[in-house]
Chains A and B, each alone.
Chain A
Amino acid sequence: MNEKATIIVHSGDYDKVYSALIIGNGALAMGMDVSMYFTFFGLERLKKGKLDKGKLSRMHLLGLGKAMIRKKMKKINVRSLDGLLSDFVELGGKILACDMTMEIMGIKKKDLREDVITDYCSVGTYVKEAKESTMTLFI
């Protein structure tokens, strides 16, 4: 059986969502099974068209910092968040949406990227998977 990684995506910040998806893809590439749990502000990023709409966690500067980072990323050919999410799903990664966050924030399934979401769940599913994991991260 493959080793397992579980990643909680709590932040909706642009750079942190990048980190989460890069680590998720990296773990899949190294042969692990990976589940990413999107909760609170992270879940906002799974709304249709919102994946790359987060602010920078630091130096956002009303969007100027983010624009500069994006320009630099484009120059060195960093894959887009949409591309990384597609890669993650293609490599068999699981995307889980927190249903309590959906209730708190009034998010409906139809608002979310249902095409990539594997399942809707709460903390019990995470804890069960985290117990079986050799790597678990809170981002």
Chain B
Amino acid sequence: MSSKVVNTITVDCLGETCPIPLVETRKAVRKASPGDIIEVIGDHESSKKEIPMAVEALGLELLSIVEKDDHWIIKIKIPEK
């Protein structure tokens, strides 16, 4: 049995505005493999609500939304096939 490698891909959207956090998240999702984790970091307020909407629409798994003082971090998991 070989152990499975889980990649974490970080998408840095700090300082980016509409629609870039969504677009860059989507690009990362397209490139990721099943089981991978995508971590999006940003400070655009609406994207904090809208990335989870995209996660649902795309059938992905939302792991967490962490809010810091001046930014947020959203973790997404690409489902295993």
Contact = CB atoms under 8 A, between A and B. Distances in A.
Given A28-B23, A29-B26, A78-B17, 19 more contacts: A25-B22, A25-B23, A26-B22, A28-B26, A29-B19, A29-B23, A29-B25, A30-B22, A30-B54, A31-B57, A31-B58, A31-B59, A76-B17, A77-B16, A77-B17, A79-B20, A87-B23, A90-B27, A91-B27
Nearest to A24: B19
A52 B57 CA distance: 31
B30 interface: yes
Q: Which of A31, A84, A90 neighbours the largest number of chain B CB atoms within 10 Å of its CB?
A: A31
Could you say which interface size class chain B belongs to? 10 to 19
Interface of B: 15-20, 22-23, 25-27, 30, 53-54, 57-59
A92 B27 CA distance: 10
Interface in A2-46: 22, 25-26, 28-31
